[in-house]
Amino acid sequence: MQAKEKEKLLRKLDAEMRTFRRAAKEVNPTNGLLWAVRTALRIPVKEIAEKLEVKRCAVFELEASEVRNSISLRALTRMAEAMECQVVYGIVPKYGKTMEGLAEERHWRKGLEKSREQKSREQGLRD
């Protein structure tokens, strides 16, 4: 991929993920999201269990597995659909950074590492 295409892709990702970056600034922004949505929409556990064709305890287990970060994307999607919602997820750099900023930071870091390795090799040859 050419440099111009990479830059264009980074800018596009940054624009698309702007809302997610804002959400990521919160501590555990999605922790307990299934429970929060179900509660906010006032959907009884029984209703979701019926839609999913599972027992009520399975609904509670899905909510708990989401909190533990062990829920599968498939299970998360099924639960969201049972609440007439959809899953939309994003991957964003930590600390509110942009993709473009993170890419540049990584570029400089790699350059510094190469420079240090080169100096180390040169020092080894002198010894």
Dump pLDDT digits (tens) for 71-98: 999 999 999 999 999 998 888 888 878 8
Specify whether 32 is located in the same domain as 5. no
Report the pLDDT value the prediction gives residue 25, as an integer from 0 to 100: 74
Specify whether 12 is located in the same domain as 33. no
Specify whether 73 is located in the same domain as 111. no
Specify whether 31 is located in the same domain as 83. yes
Per DSSP, the residues of 41-80 read TT--HHHHHHHHTS-HHHHHHHHHHHHTT---HHHHHHHH
More confident residue, 119 or 74: 74
Q: What percent of the chain has pLDDT over 70?
A: 91
Report the pLDDT value the prediction gives residue 126, as an integer from 0 to 100: 65
More confident residue, 27 or 103: 103
DSSP reduced 3-state for 117: helix
Specify whether 85 is located in the same domain as 97. no
What phi-psi label fits residue 90: left (phi over 0), alpha (psi between -120 and 50 degrees) or beta? Answer: beta
Please give the tally of structural domains in the chain.
2
Specify whether 97 is located in the same domain as 124. yes
Q: What is the mean pLDDT of the chain?
A: 86
**DSSP conformational letter for 92:** -
| Domain containing residue 71: CATH number | 1.10.260
Specify whether 49 is located in the same domain as 102. no
Lowest mean pLDDT among 5-9, 21-25, 41-45, 76-80: 21-25
What's the domain range around 48?
26-90
